[in-house]
Structure 1
């Protein structure tokens, strides 16, 4: 079998990881939109518990992570990874109770965007960050009359900021795990996440246990916004430089706005389309310059 050289396929090191990350973002936006329909029935915490619980069961069945050895150091990192997943999901769903989806995503994105800015080393990458920041700022409804700053619930904003912090830490910890058996880390991480969320959400799912339709919807949410995107994230983290991963996540509020438009009937204004264009340009610019940047050190090398 002929093995192509890196010169033969100059875009190979980054194209597939980028595709994985985009797929993760789209899946997560659709799953979160579906999850909101469960809030009136089992609450945000109950929805979070079913989401990560089903996702954990799916990944355990698919990955069978017990077949791979796991030393104490990696096990501790996986537990931390899972705790961050649980806290991120619970905080974000709590934010969605009181503030709009698009605003929550934009606020949460402060976390990975900050990481991208801190990880940048070249001037052109700062340009992409600036474009992404401009687009996200315009996407906030305070500029379009959809809401006002005074109308935003402070508790919801605090939960969204907390989710953003967890998201930033999730990227850092995920890179530590992506160099080995990524599927094992995702599976055990989701188990740890479910254990962390259980005290808050297990008591709210009684009605779902007696309604097959609710359980089916929760299972769909778990696949779209749990098992699938986290697996794709792990594949992307294995190859993408940290700053590229962070900047490409600028697609998150864009996809969230589109999902809200398609699935929830929310219309976009001209200003919001301009913001989407700004963020898309930032993401495209990041994709172009990623192939010219030197590859990051292997994730395991970042361990202290």
Structure 2
């Protein structure tokens, strides 16, 4: 009786862990895309680089007092991925906003999603995993349906953001096991804010570091950086990078919805179809993640029993 109760409790805890991770990632994606939309409203006044600089400054100002990373006690094994993550964050945000400015929020985020998709594909172990990632890719293509009037430079910025997002996932996963709490994102935002400091100084010199555009950029920093960075590093302690990569396919859908609500960009029919396909893939990913955790736990218990 006791053994049955323990098994039920363990299975319940495992399922709750995957579901909790999924809920956190959903909140992270929604916050990220709303923040990107708000930031886009400040492009005309601050420029894309200016919005990114404010984002990183706000992120560091909030996360550092909360996390209080013990920088002096960091080992090199902790420092090098944190420094690299800071560089990745700055590059990812600059390239994504440059893409948003040229090709729009929905398309830019769709291209950026290729990064998590690549992580999902590279870490796949079964045919079902590959089919799942392929289904997400088809959904992205249906959402996109590119035509002959493509902005190649905008696409290039989007693909650069995709490479950075893939690196972000892997580095966050690594740092999650080397630094406790929010020390990793706090340190990374400190590095990225220092890298974009010249842009911040230029904004102040030009008298642009004030007013409504600054508030929008600051809100973007909170929604795009502070909340997602904090959530992601916690979620990656509960879910695999493959699961994370596939589940992040929800971001193009959130980007399209944020475009409707904040920017007045209403998706056409094929975009709604693509979003529905992506949501379906995410639902399958969540259910497979739960079943996979349960199977692994059952196998481990059987081995211990023998």
- 1:53 maps onto 2:53 in alignment: no
Whether the 8 Å contact between 2:96 and 2:158 is mirrored in structure 1 is: yes
Which residue in 1 is equivalent to 2:27? 23
TM-score by length of 2: 0.88
Give the aligned CA root-mean-square deviation in angstroms: 2.1
1:83-106 Cα shifts (integer Å, max 9, x gaps): 111110011111122112111111
1:262-295 Cα shifts (integer Å, max 9, x gaps): 2111222222221111101100000000012259
Structure number, greater radius of gyration = 2
1:226-259 Cα shifts (integer Å, max 9, x gaps): 1111101111111111110000000010110111
1:14-33 Cα shifts (integer Å, max 9, x gaps): 11111111111000000000
Which residue in 2 is equivalent to 1:161? 159
Which residue in 2 is equivalent to 1:261? 260
Aligned equivalents of 2:130, 2:169: Cα separation in 1: 19
Which residue in 2 is equivalent to 1:300? none
Whether the 8 Å contact between 2:15 and 2:293 is mirrored in structure 1 is: no
Q: Bigger CA drift: 37-46 or 174-183? A: 174-183
Aligned equivalents of 1:198, 1:153: Cα separation in 2: 29
Q: Which runs of 5+ in 2 are unaligned?
A: 1-5, 295-306
Query: Which residue of 68, 75, 81 maps to 1:64?
Result: 68
Change (3 A) 1:293 1:54: same
Which residue in 2 is equivalent to 1:277? 276
Which residue in 1 is equivalent to 2:117? 113
Aligned equivalents of 1:197, 1:181: Cα separation in 2: 26
Per-residue deviation, 1:115: 1.3
Whether the 8 Å contact between 1:251 and 1:280 is mirrored in structure 2 is: yes
How many pairs are equivalent? Answer: 287
Whether the 8 Å contact between 2:67 and 2:181 is mirrored in structure 1 is: no
Where is the helix percentage greater, Structure 1 or Structure 2? 2
Aligned equivalents of 2:150, 2:198: Cα separation in 1: 28
Query: Which residue of 171, 176, 179 maps to 1:178?
Result: 176
Residue 196 of structure 2: SS of its match in structure 1?
A: helix
Per-residue deviation, 1:167: 0.7
Per-residue deviation, 1:5: 3.0
Per-residue deviation, 1:76: 1.6
